[in-house]
Structure 1
Amino acid sequence: MKRKLISLVVSIFIIGSFFPAVNASASKSQLRMDTSRYIVTVTSQKDINNIKSSIPQAGVKVLNNGQAIVYSNQISKNTLNKGLSKIRGVKDVRSPVKMSIDGFSRRTASNSPRNLEWDISDVEADKAWSNIDQGETVKIAVVDTGVDYNNLLLKGKIDVDDGYNFITNTSNAMDDNGHGTGVTGIITTNSTLNGTGLLGIDGNLDVQIIPVKVLDSTGSGDSDIIAEGIQYAADKGADIINLSFGGKGSSPEIDSAIKYATSKGSFVVTAAGNDNADVKDYSPASNPDAFTVSALNMHNTKSYYSNYGYNVQGAAPGDNILSIELNNTYYFMTGTSMSTPIVSAVAAMVKSVNPALNSSQIDQILDESTDSIMTSGKNIYYGYGKINALKAVETAIKANNQ
C-alpha cells in the first residue's frame, strides 16, 4: 500500500480548517437510509450555510475532504435536487452508490467440529497463538449487517455499548441478515482453545467487536450511510475496520471515510468482490488506503468467483469457511466476505504484539510475511501472497525488538 503521508497530512489540515470535527451523533435523530438525500462537494463553511439558508427543510451532515450529505425528511428527493442546483459553490450533486454482499453464499452445517475449520490451520493461526503476549484489547469494527450479540458463542466478545445502527439511527446494532454475525464468528468467538465449540482465527486473543450496522436485512446499503459508519468506527477507536461488501463504481465519500479512518490509526480491510472482475471498477476494493483481499480455495489457488487486480494486497481462504449466524446456527460460508475477516483477525494479532503500530506498519508486516503464490512479489490475483498468521506475528515481534 502506498500512502503519501505528507499530502495526507496537508489535505487533512486544509479540510479541517473549513469544517468541524466529525461527529456521528449530529444526524442520528434525522438521517436514515430512507431519507431523501444527495451527496455534494463543498469547499467551505459558507457553502454549508448557503445550503441551510436556501433549503431550510434540509440538514447537512459533513463527512470528510469536502464531502457532505444534504438530507430532508420533509421534501422529496426531486425537490431537494432542484434546490441544490440553484446554489452556487455546491458541486458534484450525486446519489449514493449501492453496496451489497452480492455473490456471498452459505449452506447450513450440522455441527461444528473443529477439524472443519480448515482456514485456521491453512493460515497457521493456531501456530501463532502461543507466540502472542498481549497487553491491550484489540478493537475490531465489523461494518456490516450488524452482529447477533445474543449468540451464545459471541457473549462477552461484542462491544454493544459502542455499536450503532445507521440504517435506523438507533443504538441497537442487532443483525437481521446473518452476514455480519458470520464475519464476526470467523474473527473471534468465546470458545476456549481446549473446548469443542467454534473457534475464530484469533483464538483466545482479547478482541472486542464493535458492531456497526450500515447494511439492511437484504445485505444492501448506500455509500453515504456506509461512509458515516466507517467514520464512526474510527472515532470509536477501532484498531481494525472490516468491510466485507462492495459495489460497482466509485464512491468519493467512502474513499474519504477510509482516508479519515487510516489517519486516525485504523487499519482498513476490504473484500475484493465476487464477480471474477478487476477491482478497479469496484468500491471500496479499489481504494489504495485499504488492504484488499482476494479469495483462495482449498487448493491454494484463486477461487473462481474472486475479483482480482492491481489493488489486491493479499489473499486468504474464502471457500466453505465454517462460522455462525442467527439463532446459534452454524454455516459454511463462501466469498471474499469470508477472506476479509481472516485478514482482519491476523492484523489484530499483529496489533496485539505491538499496540503502537500504525496502519502503514501493519500493512508492511502483512506484505512481508505472506506465502508467495504463483510468483514471487506482487501479482494481480494474490497480491503479495497468502496471509500467514505465524509469519506475521513473528515479523511483528522482530520489528518490536529492533
Structure 2
Amino acid sequence: MEMPGFWPIQWDIQRITENGASYAEHTGSHDTVVAVIDTGINPTHQDLAPNLMPGSKNFVPPGGFRGTEPSETGDPGNYVDLHGHGSHVSGSIAGAGNGMLGVAPDLGLRAYRVFGTSSAESAWIYNAMIAAADDGSDVLSMSLGGWDLFGQTFVKNSETGKWENVGNDVADYVAYKRAAKYAENKGSVIVVAAGNDGLDLSNNNQVMNYLNSEYGSENVQFRGTAKTVPAQLSNVVNVSATGPEDVLAQYSNYGAGQIDIATVGGDTRLYSWYASQGRLDEYLANRMYYWEFNLSADNRSDTGYYFSVGTSMATPKVSAVAGLIIDQHNGDLSPAEVKHMLLNNAVDEVSGTDSKYFGSGHLNAYKALQ
C-alpha cells in the first residue's frame, strides 16, 4: 500500500497498525458499516467520500438545541458536519488514503448527525442509536457523552430560601439503556468514549464533587450518585485514551471495572507545560502538536485536515478494529463475540494493576487480524 502524504505525522495510526502492517492483513469492505453518531460528516472530503454509504441521517430538529440555532431546519437529509468533530472521527475510522489513512481505510461509513454547532439532546442520540441499528450498522461509534444523576438535584427557592428537590436523570439513563440493548439485539457493537474529565469513574465521591464544582452553585446542588452515559452502560465498549508514551492521557476518565480498552487519543501534557511556562508560542512555532495531537479530516475543506485530542479521538480507532473483525468474519459474529475478540485478541496486554486505566490493554489492529 502506498502511504499518503500525511502518513509520516500520523503517529497514532502508525502505533495501532504496527506501522501499517495491519493493512496487509485486512482493510475492510463496504459490507461492514460503522455508524458515526456525532456532528455529521463532510460528504465531499477526499478521504471520507469514497467510503460514505447511502442512508446518513440528521436528528437535529428545527431551531437546533433548545431553539438556539435558527439555521437548523430539521431536514432529515442534512447530515453535513457544521462542527468538524464528526469528520475527524470518521477519518480515523476509514480515511481512504488520499491525504491520510484511517485504521480501516475500506470500511463503510454512515453519519447520524445529533449535534448542530454546539450541544445535543439525549433523545436525539438514543433515537440515532435505534435508527443506526435498524439500518443494519455493524458498529455504533459514539465519541460523545454526558452525566446522568441518580440522586437528587436541589435548587434553592429564591423567595423562601428553602431547598427544593427538582428530580434526577433516571428516565434518561433508562432510555439510553433500552436503546443500547435494542442496538445490541439488532447485532450492533457499541463503542463509546470514556470522557475527558480526568475522573476515576469508580469513585462516586470524586464524581459528585466534580459535578457540584462544574455545574452546581450556591443555589444548585447535586446529591447521590451519577454515571456518565453512554460510557457506563453495561453492554458497550468503553474506551480510555493514551498519549504518545502509552500512559493514560491527563484528561481521560478511568476507573476499576469501568474501562474496557485503551488506545491513542493524543495528550496535552506538553501543551500544558509550555502554556504554564508562558512559552506557548514556541510550542506552536515548532509544531510540537504534530507529535502529541491526532490528525484527521476537516469539515471546512475537501482536502483539509486538522489536529485534535481526546477520548473522542481514541474511540473511532476501536470502532474501526471492531469493524475489521466483523468484516474479516463475514458478519457472522455476535456483538458479544466481537467484544470478546477485541478485549482478548486485539490488545497489547497490561498488568492487572493498570487495568483501571487501560482495561484489557492497548489496542493493536495487527494482532486483531491474526
Common fold by TM > 0.5: yes
Partner of 2:334: 358
Report how far residue 136 of structure 1 moved. 6.0
User: TM-score if structure 2 supplies the norm length?
Assistant: 0.71
Q: By how many angstroms is 1:377 displaced?
A: 8.0
Within 2, Cα distance between the matches of 1:288 and 1:317?
23
- Counterpart residue identity of residue 127, structure 1: A
1:339 maps to 2:314: yes
Distance 2:80 2:128 in 1: 15
1:378 Cα offset (Å): 7.0
Confirm whether residue 247 of structure 1 aligns to residue 146 of structure 2.
Answer: yes
- What is the aligned partner in structure 2 of residue 314 from structure 1? 261
Of the two structures, which has the highest relative contact order with CA contacts closer than 8 Å and spacing of 6 or more?
A: 2
**Equivalent AA in structure 2 for residue 242 of structure 1:** S
Deviation at 1:189, TM superposition (A): 2.1
Structure 1 residue 156: deviation in Å? Answer: 2.4
Contact 1:272-1:279 at 8 Å conserved across structures? no
* 8 A Cα contact 1:133 1:353, kept in partner: no
Could you say which residue in structure 1 is the equivalent of 2:13? 120
RMSD: 1.9
Give the conservation status (yes or no) of the 8 Å contact 1:367–1:384. Answer: yes
Instruction: Describe the SS at the equivalent of 2:260.
Output: strand
Instruction: State the distance in 1 between where 2:96 and 2:29 align.
Output: 18
How many residues align structurally?
275
1:180 to 61, 70, 86: 86
The aligned amino acid for 1:252 is V
2-side partners of 1:121 and 1:174: how far apart? 29
- Alignment check: 8 A CA contact 2:241 2:252 kept: yes
TM-score by length of structure 1 reads 0.65
Partner of 1:216: 116
Q: What is the DSSP-based 3-state SS (H/G/I as helix, E as strand, rest coil) of the residue aligned with 1:221? A: coil
CA distance in 2, matches of 1:242, 1:129: 21
Aligned residue for 2:362, secondary structure, equals: coil
Q: Does 1:368 align with 2:344?
A: yes
Name the stretch that deviates more: 137-146 or 323-332.
323-332
Can you give the 5+ residue segments of structure 2 that lack an aligned partner in the other structure?
62-73, 150-172, 203-226, 267-292
1:349 counterpart residue number: 324
Gaps in structure 1 of 5+ consecutive residues: 1-110, 395-402
Q: Where in structure 2 are the equivalents of 1:3-402 lying within 5 Å? A: 113-124=6-17, 126-132=20-26, 137-159=31-53, 161-168=54-61, 169=74, 170-191=76-97, 197-203=99-105, 205=106, 207-218=107-118, 220-249=119-148, 251-279=173-201, 281-309=227-255, 310-319=257-266, 320-328=293-301, 329-354=304-329, 355-369=331-345, 370-373=347-350, 375-376=351-352, 379-394=355-370
Distance in 1 (CA, whole Å) between partners of 2:102 and 2:333 is 23
Deviation at 1:390, TM superposition (A): 1.1
Q: Residue 96 of structure 2 aligns to which amino acid in structure 1?
A: N
In 1, Cα distance between the equivalents of 2:36 and 2:252? 21
CA contact (8 A) 1:288 1:311 kept: no
